[in-house]
Amino acid sequence: MALTKAAELHALLFAGGEPMTKKKIGGLLGVSEAEVTLLATEMGNKLQGSGVALIQTESELELRTAPEASAIVSKLREGELTKDLGKAGLEALSIVLYQDGATRGEVDWIRGVNSAQTIRSLMLRGLVERVEDPSDKRRYRYRATTDALAHLGVDKRESLPRFAELSKEAEKAVAASEPDA
């Protein structure tokens, strides 16, 4: 059974895990930006009462939890913050630290798995922050905060173990993932 365009939009936003431009969505769905806006309205109406909301700006769309679900989501987040970072969190944080910032795609590629939840957890803990990518204004980079360095017991990135060696390896891994490489 073929999906409707609204269902395809839902799948894209769910899989993306972060804001996506209407222009990019239109390109992926093969429709105009005006049609994306209409599909977003249709999808937003279907999400009413589901615990999930479609957040829209003039140029972007994102799936988020609905405001009505804030109490239950707060319980989840409190639980997340009391746990150790775990292997996934340490891997993602290491990639961000040794590269002096990384996009989610770069973290995913190096780890070999979707890292959206891991990065979200690091952001909730205040260990990474999302900033606009200076080389591509359509995407974000994640960079380590001073709290991350304090959490690891170092005063600067260069104090991390095998910093020079592992930074170069991280650069090579990202360069290998780029289409021009």
Residues 6 or more apart whose Cβ sits within 8 Å of residue 12: 20, 25, 28, 29
Residue 74 covered by a domain? no
Both tokens of 147, joined, read 């709290």
User: Which candidate, 97, 136, 113, places its Cα nearest to that of 105?
Assistant: 113
120-132 pLDDT tens trace: 989 988 899 999 8
Q: Of how many residues is the chain composed?
A: 181
Q: Residue 25: what pLDDT?
A: 94
Q: If residue 145 lies in a helix (H) or strand (E), which one and from where to where?
A: none
Instruction: Determine which of 30-34, 43-47, 66-70, 174-178 has the lowest per-residue pLDDT on average.
Output: 174-178
- Domain that includes residue 59, residue range: 5-66
Quick one: 51 and 124 in the same domain? no
Count CB atoms within 10 A of the CB of residue 157: 17
**Measured distance CA(131)–CA(112) in Å, rounded:** 23
Q: How many independent structural domains does the chain possess?
A: 2
Residue 98 clears pLDDT 70, i.e. is over it: yes
User: Can you give the pLDDT at residue 64?
Assistant: 82
User: Could you tell me if 36 and 95 lie in one domain?
Assistant: no
Confidence at residue 71, expressed as pLDDT on a 0 to 100 scale: 80
What would the pLDDT profile of 11-65 be if each residue is shown by its tens digit? Answer: 999 888 778 899 999 999 999 999 999 999 999 899 888 988 888 887 888 888 8
Amino acid sitting at position 104:
R
Tokens of 35: 């049609």
Q: What is the pLDDT of residue 178?
A: 64
Where does a domain end: 18, 40, 66? 66
List pLDDT tens digits, range 119-168. 998 998 889 999 988 888 888 899 988 888 877 777 778 888 888 888 88
Q: 177 falls in which pLDDT band (50, 70, 90)?
A: low
Rounded distance between C-alpha atoms, residue 12 and residue 40, angstroms: 12
Asked if residue 71 belongs to a domain, the reply is no
**pLDDT reported for residue 181:** 42
Whether 88 and 169 map to the same domain: the answer is yes
